[in-house]
Structure 1
Amino acid sequence: MIRTSLLFALATFAIPMAHSADFMFAAIYDGEAIEGRPLMWNDHEMLILARDGALHTVDPRIAEDAHKTAPQFQGYSTSEMRSALYEEFGRGMTVTSTGHYLVVHRPGESDAWASRFEELYRSFQNYFRVRGIELRRPKFPLVAVIYGSQQEYYAAARKAGSQLGPNTLGHYDPTTNRVLMYDRVGNNDRDWGVTANTIVHEATHQMAFNTGLHSRTAASPQWVVEGLATMFEARGVYQSNASDTRQNRINRGRLDDYFHFVDTAPTKQTLAELVASDTPFRTSAQRAYAEAWALTFYLSETRPREYEQYLALTASREPLSKYGSMERVRDFQSVFGSDLTLLESNYRTWMNELR
């Protein structure tokens, strides 16, 4: 096919411009073959969900050999994904599979890494199932890559375009849809606690973005994304059981941070400021994470049905759409009520009871 054939093909399929489609197509962009589902496009930009779960933003005008491959999107199977990972990483790494995860790690290690990710997935599903919240099944196996050293991890992050802080242990990359981290001190039960919070936090991001709680293609409020991940850092959440109590679900580290800033900060951060923009995370990250955890914990514990509704609302936005402050506040008020001053008063009072 000629280079301009992709837009013509989309028009032939009778799909309106800028609307997602369920069919799959394949094309070559700058020498790279991509097969997946078009999520959004116009005459100069296209967002594609590839079969391995990665997101690609390409120029449809330079597509070569574009052709439809299937009437519906189909993510890679476990065996297809494993083969692709071995092709990418070579036999210098081992790929261990579980029911929902493929974990890339150094040869000779036990399968404990994969087991831990799978356990987190099951706990994540159980947490929402007992609360009557139905999650979407991921369209492809979830991938975690455990590098053997910090140097390897940082090099891989730079190659992917991620800018990491000096003490980063791991992160979730929404573009590749992978959790990346490194084995800091070895893989045994004693050392598990050293990196447990990082694994839980980043795996929660990955699971939430792949089960319909967040959108990978549209802006989500940062307090929503980080609030959920910090809530799962508590052992009573990520290892919940029938005898669990609210006290076990409290993230003690975030609770201490919350009251530290409530008691000592010269200026008060209002609920409205947290809801309206991501600026608090740029001005004082530790404070913003604590506030995001506190608000999320309050809403999930006291108003779970509305919290579920709000997650669905923020996850249903159009791909690549912007999310301005006024719209963020309006959406929040549409679910939790227009009187943010009253809500904040109730929220702060409830938090004080956790001291």
Structure 2
Amino acid sequence: MAVARSAVVRCAAFSGRWLWLILCVLAVLSESRADEVLLSDVVMRTADGEQRLAGRVVAEGAAGELLLEDPAGRMRQLSAAEVVGREDRRGVWQVRCAAFSGRWLWLILCVLAVLSESRADEVLLSDEVLLSDVVMRTADGEQRLAGRVVAEGAAGELLLEDPAGRMRQLSAAEVVGREDRRGQWQPADAEQLGRLLKTEAGSGFEVYQTEHYLVCSNCSEGYNEFIGRLLETVYAQYFDFWKKLNVDVASAGRPLPVLMFQSESEFQAYASRIHPETGFEGVPGFYSVRDNLVLVVDLTGDRSLREVSAVRKKLADRPLQVATVVHEAVHQLSFNSGLQQRFADFPVWYSEGLSLYFEPPSERSAVLWSRPGQVSPRHHPEFVRLVRDETLPVPLADLLVNDSAFQSADAAVAAYAESWGLVSYLVKKKPLEFAEYARRLQRLQPLQAVTGSARQQMFTEAIGETPAELSGRLIPWVRRLRVAR
């Protein structure tokens, strides 16, 4: 990674400073070439006979006087009577010391400036980051961790990333000892990451790599190929979506990891092991922000499927499988393209609404999905059903600044439906404002809390409407939408 990045930056440096230096050289040479003046070889009359002079014609008087400068800078004024003969020509005037102290000295200073700036860039291109070896306190005793320091919180929290891309947030009380240093950060390459996933997943898993994904799976050959094609389709559409909105996002530069399980029991066992604090009953997949990993269970339940067409036929009756893969893939892309920072305080409605905007399947597509922005067959009916008396069950003023509705069994359905509706409305009706809001959210950093008032101000300034004003437009607009048949 460091080598590839340095090569790119060096190329950019050449097209910048070095191109500028070349232009300076050409300018000096062209200026030197343009210094053609009137030179003269003069034969003058003196008391001792004739004398020859050569130099630059500085001026000529009305009465035929001639002012001549020799290469040493000495001038001689001659009357018309003193000039016996004269041979003029156009040529380059060489005053060597003066030229050196002028244009050529300027050129040398340009060279030194570029070289010193290049030297400074060597420091920047080295990709040195803050690395840390940490001893942390756990229930089972002390544990050692090593990785890149991503962020440090105001209360002494530490966010550490290991080479596999997994992040660990440690409180000040958990850190027993810590040794920091500056050094090169070397993320795991595809081969190393694949070996790690296979080891952790267990026997029977194999690694498959597409252009942008590293898939570790024990599912059928046909299922692996189908999901690989689906992921690449989502990848292309994701970057095209933000390009049209003129929001800067970039490829992670490394394959994105996906773990797929043939059986529900295997999926549940692994999910419970890495996130014991969360229940995953009835969940066909999720994206782990901490581990930067998408986990999916194969809903075909058939490991014998070898043909993509057979997988497509089975999944056509299970739209939730495709929707889940798309939804979680968009989460992963958002956190690996610069759109969002992991462990930053993003509003949940924005993260979920964006994934919901992408997820609706398309029955006619080869991978049962084609593009974002189709009306959700799940969340549109929920939105319409839950809105009563022109009032949203979760007021927008609350949804924008408070994430608690997503953790409530009673309010979660409404929160997700409203998030889908709000993102859909903003993308379709206020794309420039939505893009500006996305750019503002890109500035949020890990471990930095954002207050509710700051969230609302950020939204109102970017969108140009208050939650109350927007709610009055959102409800009738969503009601007019129709799910594709």
TM-score normalised by length of structure 2 = 0.61
- Larger proportion of strand: 2
Please tell me whether residue 89 in structure 1 is matched to residue 194 in structure 2. no
1:78 deviates by 1.9
Give the Å deviation of 1:91.
Answer: 5.1
Correspondence for 2:351: 225
**What are the residue-to-residue correspondences of 1:1-355 with 2, within 5 Å?**
23=129, 25=131, 27=133, 29=135, 30-40=142-152, 44-58=156-170, 59=174, 61-63=176-178, 67-70=181-184, 73-90=185-202, 92-106=204-218, 109-110=221-222, 111-112=224-225, 113-161=227-275, 162-185=277-300, 186=302, 188-193=311-316, 194=318, 195-235=321-361, 239-240=370-371, 249-263=374-388, 268-281=393-406, 282=408, 283-354=410-481
CA distance in 2, matches of 1:135, 1:95: 27
Contact kept, 8 Å, 1:52 with 1:140, in 2: the verdict is: no
| Letter of the structure 1 residue corresponding to residue 357 of structure 2 | M
Distance change in 2, residues 1:124/1:306 (3 Å): same
The residue type paired with residue 257 of structure 2 is V
Larger Rg over CA atoms: 2
CA distance in 1, matches of 2:418, 2:474: 11
Deviations 1:56-104 (A, max 9, x none): 224554246x55441xx44332233223323433553101111111111
Q: Partner of 1:47: helix, strand, or coil?
A: strand
Any conservation in 1 of the 2:349–2:415 contact (CA below 8 Å)?
A: yes
Q: Is the partner of 2:282 in helix, strand or coil? A: coil
Give distance in 2, aligned partners of 1:42 and 1:222.
22
CA distance in 1, matches of 2:130, 2:461: 36
Greater mean alpha carbon deviation, residues 51-60 or residues 202-211: 51-60
SS in 2 for 1:228: helix
Kept in 1, the 8 Å contact 2:267–2:296? The answer is yes
215-224 vs 311-320, which moves further: 311-320
CA deviations over 1:90-145 (Å, ceiling 9, x no partner): 55310111111111101763431333222221222222223333312215321111
- What is the alpha-carbon root mean square deviation over aligned residues? 2.8
Q: Does the 8 Å CA contact 2:201/2:270 hold for their aligned counterparts?
A: no
Residue by residue, what CA displacement relative to the aligned partner does 1:163-222 show, whole Å, maximum 9, x if unpaired? 124211111110001011211223611223421111111111111121122221212111
Q: How far apart are the structure 2 equivalents of 1:266 and 1:108? A: 47
Distance 2:384 2:348 in 1: 21
Q: Any unmatched runs of 5+ in structure 1?
A: 1-20
User: Match of 2:335, SS?
Assistant: helix
**Normalization by structure 1: what TM-score?**
0.81
Which ranges of structure 2 fall in alignment gaps of 5 or more residues?
1-126, 136-141, 306-310, 363-367
Q: Which stretch shifts more, 257-266 or 44-53?
A: 257-266
Percent of aligned pairs sharing the same letter = 24
* Conservation of the 8 A alpha-carbon contact between 1:53 and 1:140: no
Q: Post-superposition shift, 1:305? A: 1.9
